[in-house]
Amino acid sequence: MIKVAESKFNLAAVRILFFVFVLLTMSSSNYFLSWINVPSEFWHPRGLLRFLDGPMSFEFVSISFHLWRWIGVLCIFGAYFRLLAPIWWILSLIVVTNAHSYGYQSHVFMPVILAGLPLCFSRASDTLSFDAWRRRAAPVVNESDYRVPLRTHQLVFCLVYFAAGVAKVRHGGWDWISGETLRNYLVRASWIYSDTNPLAHAVGLNEILSRRPLLCNFLAFGAVLLELSAPLALFRRKWSYVIVPLIALLQVSIFFTIYVRFTPYIVLIFPWINWWKICGYINRQTNRWISSARAYTN
């Protein structure tokens, strides 16, 4: 029963954090809505939108976007989650795919949508939610009903980075590591992203590294090796303790060197964290401080 309670709590915690961060990093701005202003001549449909004769109407995209945003808020609180979460996922697929159908395809957002698929069709609202409060009596389910969505979320994480490593090897080969590819990215970043990410520009790490070609080759080799090793995190917990933090560090270094922000990718890390143990530790420390305070006042 403890394992069931732990997995149920972890899944609910991931639900809350996932939708909070998607709201903050993706749906809080009008970025996806602004694509409806792009002329239809630039329409280059992706995915299921290829079956359409032309761009979706302004009204449909606008309604889909606002529904996606507000249903996401309800999913944070776990309100009618089993009904609304699948709708949220379908709307997110429409909104993001529409934005990718105008000649610009970002790889920042779609992995987040893929990671949300197992979550939106899971029992993530069985605790820490309005649904649990409304239902009162907790349903009796197997531990796998909570653990499998988390493991699938982790699988998406591993496949995203493994695919990135495979793409580098496939399209760049050994030259991606031994050549000037990474160094060119570092030099190029100062010009292309000259008006964004002032914090990264203030550090200027890309300029420091670009003056050291051999170090760039070493970093390129390390990045590819780490990405290709990502699936190993699924097989051994001890390996995940090393691989996942290193990949998180890789994402931070990308921001400070190439000036590209993968902020939405934070949600891919959540299922690797045991929120049950963290909250248990905080609860024990809080009770200890309260007991000490009471003993001191008495």
Q: What are the domain boundaries of the chain?
A: 1-141
Lowest mean pLDDT among 150-159, 188-197, 274-283: 188-197
Residue 197: per-residue pLDDT: 79
Average confidence score pLDDT of the chain: 91
Region at 78 (left for phi over 0; alpha for psi -120 to 50; beta for the rest): left
Question: In this predicted structure, what is the pLDDT of residue 1?
Answer: 65
Q: Over 70: is that where the pLDDT of 277 sits? A: yes
pLDDT score of 148 = 96
Whether the predicted pLDDT of 105 surpasses 90: no
* Predicted pLDDT at 107: 82
Task: Please state the pTM of the whole predicted model.
Answer: 0.93
Segment among 38-42, 73-77, 117-121, 232-236 with least mean pLDDT: 38-42
Model confidence at 206: pLDDT above 90: no
What band does 146 get if pLDDT is binned at 50, 70 and 90? very high
